[in-house]
Structure 1
Amino acid sequence: MATHLVTGAGAGIGAALARRLHERGDQLVLTARNRERAESLADSFPGARVVVADLADPASLERTVEPALADVDRLDSVQHVAGVVDLAPVASIATAELREQIDVNLVSPAILTRMVLPAVRRARGLVLFVNSSAGLNASADWAAYAASKFGLRALADSLRAEELEHGVRVTTVFPSRTATAMQEKVHEQEGRVYDPSHWLTADTVVDTILHVLDLPASATIPEVVVRPLVPRPGT
């Protein structure tokens, strides 16, 4: 039975991924930002191990996550899906919003990866980062989010080069806009009408993730971009 660590399983792409992995009988290790969310995830995914981990407070992860996962010997994959976004121009971005996006989207994935890397090495597993099209091109008002995602791509690139000798595969998935609650929030901040039919579904992104995950151990996909069939302005 394969074991996967998934962040962001409470909503959106992360929830869809956790559901699909759970349905096929894989073992899940899920992170939750607080005890209330942890209880909800435990109810949604019977048999999963749920660890309280506040990704907005990277310094706390060594106290909360590292001891909780000390007995995890092997991880077939680490799926970094959790993310936050707040749009603002550089001229007026709040320090707290900038800090949160960098911490949740970049710093915490780096720390979590460091913590569990021995278990991933033992399984010759996969570390997968769900990035964003904003990690490839930055637009006005997206500076904080895009900076965190550009950094996440660099983290993945370095990790890929470092872990090749250990048989660890590293993949970055760059989805375009996806119909999730986060995207609804973005549309609200942009002052645009939200129509989920215009965008990718979470399950389409998960199809891509599972394709990467299920490749033979002799093959890897370093990066993959997923976009709607007919791109629309602003995608």
Structure 2
Amino acid sequence: MTEPIAIVTGATGGMGREIVADLARTHHVYALGRDDTTLAELGALADVTPVNTDLVVDLLDAADDQSCLQTLIDLQRVDVVVHAAAIATKFSVETATVADWRHAMDINVHVPAELTRRLLPALREARGTAIFINSGAGRGSYGDNIVYAATKHALYALADGLRKAESKAGVRVSTVAPGPTDTPMLEGLYAQDDKEYRAEHFIEPVEVARAIRMIVDAGESTQITDVAVRPRIEVGDR
């Protein structure tokens, strides 16, 4: 395969689907997710290979040479990896259990760290780009959403340290931090609070894909390290 290669986790989520569709215009995309219906839809696109995987089980728990992801890990070059897989459930310090903390950290931090580690030789070979989808919660926190915010703070540290460690190897590292975006994840958080959900108040997922495209298309002499994507009118100002 001579065309550029991209790997997208969380490909069946609201942002992930748009990211896959956009990258597939110029890359062969491996779309990683767990929803069979959405994976089938993505697989119908040209230059998309759907991969059904539970990343915690297949990446964190499986032996290095026994993961169903081994075909991807054995790729000789990877031009782009987008870490879009994440979970968000509201917890306070009082309500979160150890299991809640571990589950969130596994998916939101440990998975992108481990997948990046396993793909580093291929990213270095391609002088590729690793993109971490963060959140406005990565720079602040709320009393009822501490677990999610803590994972996103950790993801910033992961991306920042990786960027410094890999710059001489030619790997570019970027963080894209969307504000409230019209996705099933956000709708679920609103449902937890029994609040009205109005999709028109939030960022359209395609805008996140466009931000990623800007990063991928950056010139050879630069890297775009941090992109904040905000709604035109902040939700709190409506």
TM-score (norm 2): 0.90
CA deviation digits over 1:80-107, x for unaligned, max 9? 0111011021101133332221111000
Moved more, 215-224 or 123-132: 215-224
Identify the residue that residue 13 of structure 1 maps to in structure 2.
15
Identify the residue that residue 32 of structure 1 maps to in structure 2.
33
Amino acid at match of 1:80: H
2:81 to 44, 57, 78: 78
Identify the residue that residue 91 of structure 1 maps to in structure 2.
94
| 2:158 pairs with 1:155 | yes
2:223 to 220, 224, 234: 220
| 2:183 pairs with 1:183 | no
Aligned length: 233
Identify the residue that residue 175 of structure 2 maps to in structure 1.
172
Change (3 A) 1:37 1:122: farther
CA deviation digits over 1:110-134, x for unaligned, max 9? 0000000110100101000000000
Amino acid at match of 1:148: T
Amino acid at match of 1:48: V
Q: Is the 8 A contact 1:66 1:115 kept in 2?
A: no
Identify the residue that residue 3 of structure 1 maps to in structure 2.
5
Q: d(CA) in 2 for partners of 1:51 and 1:115?
A: 17
Amino acid at match of 1:32: G
Change (3 A) 1:172 1:90: same
Moved more, 91-100 or 58-67: 58-67
- What is the aligned-residue identity percentage? 33
Change (3 A) 1:199 1:4: same
Aligned-pair CA distance for 1:229: 1.5
Q: Note the residue ranges of structure 2 that are not aligned, 5 or more in a row.
A: none
Q: After superposition, where does 1:114-133 map in structure 2 within 5 Å? A: 114-133=117-136
Change (3 A) 1:32 1:172: same
Q: d(CA) in 2 for partners of 1:122 and 1:217?
A: 15
Amino acid at match of 1:139: Y
Secondary structure, aligned partner of 2:141: coil
Q: Is the 8 A contact 1:82 1:104 kept in 2?
A: yes
Q: Is the 8 A contact 1:38 1:51 kept in 2?
A: no
TM-score (norm 1): 0.91
Q: Is the 8 A contact 2:8 2:31 kept in 1?
A: yes
Q: After superposition, where does 1:200-219 map in structure 2 within 5 Å? A: 200-219=203-222
Q: d(CA) in 1 for partners of 2:97 and 2:134?
A: 23
Q: d(CA) in 2 for partners of 1:46 and 1:103?
A: 32
2:142 to 139, 142, 149: 139
Amino acid at match of 1:43: G
Change (3 A) 1:61 1:176: farther
Change (3 A) 1:182 1:3: same
Q: d(CA) in 2 for partners of 1:206 and 1:39?
A: 18
CA deviation digits over 1:2-59, x for unaligned, max 9? 210100111211111101122x14201122347x469636634454333343233322
Q: Is the 8 A contact 2:12 2:34 kept in 1?
A: no
Amino acid at match of 1:146: A
Q: Is the 8 A contact 2:17 2:42 kept in 1?
A: no
Aligned-pair CA distance for 1:157: 0.6
